[in-house]
Amino acid sequence: MNGLKTALLLGLLSGLLIVGGRLVAGENGMLIALFIAIGMNFFSYFFSDKIALASSGAVRVNETENPEVFWRLAKIVKPLCDRMGLPMPKLWVTPERAPNAFATGRNPAHASVAVTAGLLDLMEDREIEGVLAHELGHVKNRDILTSSIAATIASAITWAAQMAFFFGGRRDDDEGGNPIAALLMMLLAPIAAGLIQMAISRTREFSADAASAQYTGNPDELVSALRKLEAYSKRIPMDVSPSMSHMYIIQPLSGKSLASLFSTHPPTEERIARLLSLRRS
C-alpha cells in the first residue's frame, strides 16, 4: 500500500510539472527547468552521502578504529543484513548527544548507516536493533533513489516558476494562455510540489517502520525506540541543517513546532499506532 501511495504521489508530482510548468514557463521553459533540476539532483544522488556524513561530523567505525563500538553495531547489523538480503553497510557514529540515526548512499552496495553517540548511550541493544532495521529498510526500499526522483521533479517545478517570475511569465509558444491561471500556478505550484514531496517522505518512513517490524520480528523494539527518540528530541537539541532533517529516523527539529503538513516525518504517535497494529495482526 505504501509503495502504491508513493507511485501515485510521484505521478501527481509529474502531472503538476507537465501542466503547471507549461502554464508558468511554456514548453521550452519547462524543459530547461527540468534539465537544470536533473543536473543538480544527479550530483546530489552521487555525492549526498559524502556531504551528509561530512556535515554531521560522522566518524567511520571499523575493527581497528573504535572496535568496541563497531562490534556492538556489527553484531546487530550483520544478522539484519543477512535476513534482508543486503550487503554490510559502512558504519558511522556522529558526536550528537541526542539519540538519532540516518542512512545514506545511492544504492545498497554503497550504503552507510550512521548513529549518534546519544543513541548508543541512551538506547538498549534491542531498541538499537529496531532503529537500525528501520534505516536498513530505507536502503532495501531504495528510498534515496525515490527521494532523488521526487526532488528532481519538485526542483524543476520551482525553477519553472522562478523563470516565469523573472521573465514576466512569458510563454514561448503561440497558444493563448490564461494569465490568471499562469499567475496562480507560478505562486502555488512550488508550494504544492513541496507538500507532495514531503508526503512521499512520510510514506517512506511508514514503509521503513514496517520493514523494521518485519525483519526484527518484534515491532515493540521500534515502538520503544520511537518513544525515547520523541522524548529526547524535545530535551536535547541537535545541530542539524534543515536540509538534512528528512534523513533522520525522527525529525531532529521537532521541538521547533513545525506544522505536521510541512513535516518530512509522520507524527510519532501515528507511527507507533501502526506498529502496534502490526503486532496484533
| Tens-digit pLDDT profile for residues 30-59 | 676 667 667 766 776 677 778 888 889 999
Distance CA 264, CA 276 (A): 22
pTM summary value: 0.77
Q: Is residue 17 within 8 Å of residue 30, measured between CB atoms?
A: yes
Say what the pLDDT of residue 240 is.
79
pLDDT digits (tens, 9 = 90+) for 81-130: 999 999 999 999 999 999 999 998 888 999 999 999 999 999 999 999 99
- Whether 230 is catalytic is no
Query: Residue 77 and residue 83: Cα distance in Å, rounded?
Result: 10
Rounded-to-integer distance, Cα 171 and Cα 185, Å: 13
Q: CB neighbours of 201 closer than 8 A, spacing ≥ 6?
A: 147, 150, 246, 264, 265
pLDDT in tens, 208-264: 999 999 999 999 999 999 999 999 988 998 877 766 777 899 988 654 444 555 577
pLDDT in tens, 132-167: 999 999 999 988 777 766 666 666 667 666 666 665
CB 251 within 8 A of CB 245: yes
- Give per-residue burial for 214-226: e unless 16+ CB within 10 Å, then b: ebbebbebbbbbb
Residue 167 gets which letter from DSSP? Answer: T
Q: Which of 141, 149, 148 is nearest to 86 (CA)?
A: 141
**Active-site hit among 96, 129, 135, 221:** 135
